[in-house]
A and B are shown apart, each in its own frame.
Chain A
Amino acid sequence: MHAPDGLLNVGTALATGGISVGCVMLAARRCGDELESKVVPLAGVTAAFVFAAQMLNFPVGIGTSGHILGAALAAILLGPYLGSLSSTVVVLVQAFVFADGGVTALGYNVLNMAIVPAFGGYALYILFRKVFPATPAGVSLSTGFASAGSVVLSAVAFSLEWLFGATVPVPFDTVFGAMVSVHLVIGIGEGVISGLVMSAVLRSRQDIVFGARDLPTMSAAQTQPVNAVKWRTFIVGSIGISVVLAAIVSQFAASSPDGLERVVIDTGIGPDDDTAAFGGSLFADYALDGISNPSASLALAGVAGVVVVAATGFGMLTAAKFVARKPVVAS
């Protein structure tokens, strides 16, 4: 997952670098206000935990294994600012100390593997918490679904960066379809693991979980329901959601004119010559070459972009509000 140097063009590397630096500085300032000097050991040791957890490969089948991104989980455990900061440090240390991931690719690596999954995942967590009951089981399930979603958000973010900075003529549609469908599967793994990790943490130290501070403190007897989380339900549910999403995604990858393109043609809002309208535009020509219906693809990209930005931004805003309302550390 760590993109090496030269995967996307220089402009995209710089732009994502700017966005990442802005988000990280915001998070660092927030944490500074919030926890004062406690942030250093806490985020440091947690970053080491995220790194170790990424090494804890979980089995997928014979001979293959996946490892977790951990950014959404870290955001829910520690709060999105501290969680995103820990994940950012993991990516930085991997690039500078372990030569894993390009130094010029840091902008998009930090954005895709720390900022988007941490804040976007936290936003999804808030949404899922509204659906599930306010119990440890509900928190664990929300963590699972939010973590699964954060992996897909991360894949969508990469596809969007490809749209701007492709260095190889692989159309946006292909990249988007492949990234999202593969990461739907990876996301299920990440979701199950994250949910189980959360349920284990809640059982022993519910008080330290940022995302569960609204829960009443449970006595030992009451914590039992955490075990009753139906993980089979979670997996079946995730696969169901994945299939639906994959069906929607594949609609856009299909070569026959679909609903959206039909609308564009019928209403005449689309340009006469699809390619001319995008020539010399902000988008990388490579990402548009060979796309049968650029209007629909760009509409999809637009929708996807709105989702990623809205989720990430919502995560930041919610976190800011949450921080303003409640003191973070009890001690």
Chain B
Amino acid sequence: MGAGHLRGLYLQRQSPLHAVASHVKVLAAVWLVVVVASIPRQQVWAFGVAGISIVAGFIFSGLTVGQVLRRLVVLAPFVPVVIALPFIAGGEPAEVFGVAVSEEGLWGAWNFLAKAIVGVSVSSIVTASTTVPDILAALGKLRMPKILVAIASSMVRYLDLIVEETSRMRLAMVSRGYSPAWFWQAKPLATSAGSLFVRSYERSERVHAAMMARGFTGTLPQRRVVASASQWVAVCAAPAVMTVVLLVAILK
């Protein structure tokens, strides 16, 4: 998460998914992730179908394999957990390559890994093909409370500014020859964070005054976006198919 927060993870492309209205993509993504999270884990074939729809999503959004893998790095902290699960979990023991592991633990690790990867992949597709303001507008259109959307909009608007202010403060500290490496040296960092808060607060007061002066009434105006029926059908095909797959997997 380097520079360019207002851009978020957006990739400037001309793909079929980039052209779709944002609320259609967000709704389809949430639907798909909810369905996949409900698949019973023994139904490996159902995850295979989910995998196919994800790959299709990658192709239609113009993401390259390298970009996809980079997005999956967000799961890195959970890798040790997944590796440890078959060993620390209880239940029936099983032998894999001559090592005794818990069968339930293996299934659990698989379940967790598969669903987490689908979740991150779907989010990656949406965030790569939709700009940040469009994602927030979509959440508003999909009935997320207006106040949360307004706060989130104002957050992403000032995110770059404040993150850069943070790195300027850090740079100033380093260029004065102070580069903390141990926990007991954390005080200057905390002091920076303290002044960062004061600066942020004072900035928000100025922003509020400026907004009031321009006639702000408590909510931000929303753009009107209309999605065509063909967009709905095309994008919701994936979650719709997965819903059928889920029903089959449960009834099987």
Chain A residues engaging chain B, CB cutoff 8 angstroms:
2, 4-7, 10, 13, 24-25, 28, 31-32, 36-49, 51-53, 55-56, 58-62, 77, 85-86, 88-90, 92-93, 95-100, 102-105, 167-171, 174, 189, 192-201, 203-205, 208, 231, 286, 289-290
Contacts and interface: CB of A to CB of B under 8 A. Distances in A.
> Interface SS of chain B: helix, strand, loop or mixed?
helix
Interface in B184-243: 185-187, 189-198, 200-205, 207-208, 211-212, 216-218, 220
Contacts of A52: 159, 162-163, 165-166, 196
23 contacts: A4-B74, A5-B118, A6-B36, A40-B154, A44-B153, A46-B204, A48-B200, A49-B196, A56-B193, A89-B148, A97-B136, A98-B9, A167-B108, A169-B90, A170-B105, A193-B186, A193-B190, A196-B187, A199-B194, A200-B191, A203-B194, A208-B198, A289-B90
Contacts of B20: none
Interface of B: 1, 8-9, 26, 29-30, 33-34, 36-38, 71, 74-75, 78, 85, 88-91, 102, 104-105, 108-109, 111-112, 114-116, 118-120, 122-124, 127, 132, 135-136, 139, 145, 147-148, 150-159, 161-163, 165-166, 170, 180-183, 185-187, 189-198, 200-205, 207-208, 211-212, 216-218, 220
Given A40-B218, A168-B85, A169-B89, A99 B105 contact: no
A80 to B, nearest CB: 16
B132 A97 contact: yes
Contacts of B37: 5-6, 10, 13, 102, 104
A77 B196 CA distance: 13
B89 A89 contact: no
A61 B181 CA distance: 7
B145 A25 contact: yes
Contacts of A95: 123
B189 to A, nearest CB: 6
A45 B200 contact: yes
A53 B181 contact: no
Contacts, number: 277
A84 B127 CA distance: 25
Contact of B218 (A24, A36, A90, A174): A36
> Interface SS of chain A: helix, strand, loop or mixed?
helix
A92 B154 contact: no
Closest 6 CB pairs of A and B: A200-B194, A6-B115, A44-B154, A168-B108, A5-B119, A196-B190
Contacts of B26: 96
Contact of A168 (B33, B105, B132, B148): B105
A167 B186 CA distance: 38
Contacts of B208: 37-38, 40-42
A204 B198 contact: yes
Given A40-B147, A98-B9, A103 B89 contact: no
B91 A169 contact: yes
Given A89-B148, A97-B9, A48 B196 contact: no
A197 to B, nearest CB: 4
* Max count, chain A CB within 10 A of own CB: residue among B9, B192, B193: B193
B186 A196 contact: yes
A6 to B, nearest CB: 3
A24 B149 CA distance: 13
A305 to B, nearest CB: 23
A313 B119 CA distance: 32
A232 B205 CA distance: 36
A98 B120 CA distance: 10
Contacts of A24: 145, 148
